[in-house]
Homo-oligomer: A and B are copies of this chain.
Amino acid sequence: MRNDTSSVSTLNWEQYSHLVEEVSVPARTVLLREGDVATNAYFVKKGCLRVWFNNDGKDVTFQFFFEDQGVSSIESFRSGKPSLFSIESIEPSTLWVISKINLDVLIREIPGYQELMQDHILQRMNHYARLFMSHIKHNPEERYLELMAESPHIIRRVPQHYVASYLGITPVSLSRIRNKLMRQKK
């Protein structure tokens, strides 16, 4: 399996308005369905998204996107093969949508795109490496505390059962961990 969701570096999208379309969607709207071929890339203007795949009938959420982040299935986008995951809105969201064809134009228009992309991939590599290392060195409670410290916006805006999935535990277990931490705090 190849995983490669990708947040395109911050750009001033307004100036490329001839190539991108602004779209508003309600909460829980699927933008790309697992198994379909990606034809668009998205950039979050307002709201948030999650990326997930089906594992024996259960959602596994492995990434969240918020304002000023871009997301697409690069692999499906480039290869034309079915995407291995779905992209879905969590909150009602406003997005810039760009088609594959227009993105190719855009790439030629942006100076230093290669370098942007290189930096971006290096950043993502470090992100995943840290996630992996967090899992082998911390237990679920510690991972939750780490997430609270490093990404409080995720805790604040993402429904708890998606956070549980992201932490690799069940919603019930996360609820218990929160309960335990609350009791300790008092």
As a 0/1 sequence over residues 118 to 129 of chain A, the CB contacts with chain B under 8 angstroms (1 = contact) are 100110111011
* Consensus secondary structure, chain A interface: helix
Is A178's CB within 8 Å of the partner chain B? no
* A130 and B60 contacting across the interface, CB-CB below 8 Å: no
**What residues on B are CB-neighbors of A2 within 8 Å?**
126
- Contact stretch, chosen from A39-47, A103-111, A165-173: A165-173
Candidates B3, B4, B118, B125; contact of A4 at CB < 8 Å: B125
* B60 and A136 contacting across the interface, CB-CB below 8 Å: yes
* A136 and B4 contacting across the interface, CB-CB below 8 Å: no
**C-alpha spacing A38/B33, complex, angstroms:** 45
Candidates B4, B122, B131, B165; contact of A132 at CB < 8 Å: B131
Q: What's the nearest-Cβ distance from chain B to residue A117, in Å? A: 9
A121-B121, A133-B60 known; A3+B126 contact, CB < 8 A: yes
Q: What's the nearest-Cβ distance from chain B to residue A182, in Å? A: 24
Candidates B1, B126, B130, B132; contact of A135 at CB < 8 Å: B132
* 4 residue pairs, one from A and one from B, having the closest CB atoms: A128-B128, A136-B168, A3-B129, A125-B125
Interface residues of A (CB under 8 A from B): 1-4, 55, 60, 62, 118, 121-122, 124-126, 128-133, 135-137, 165-168
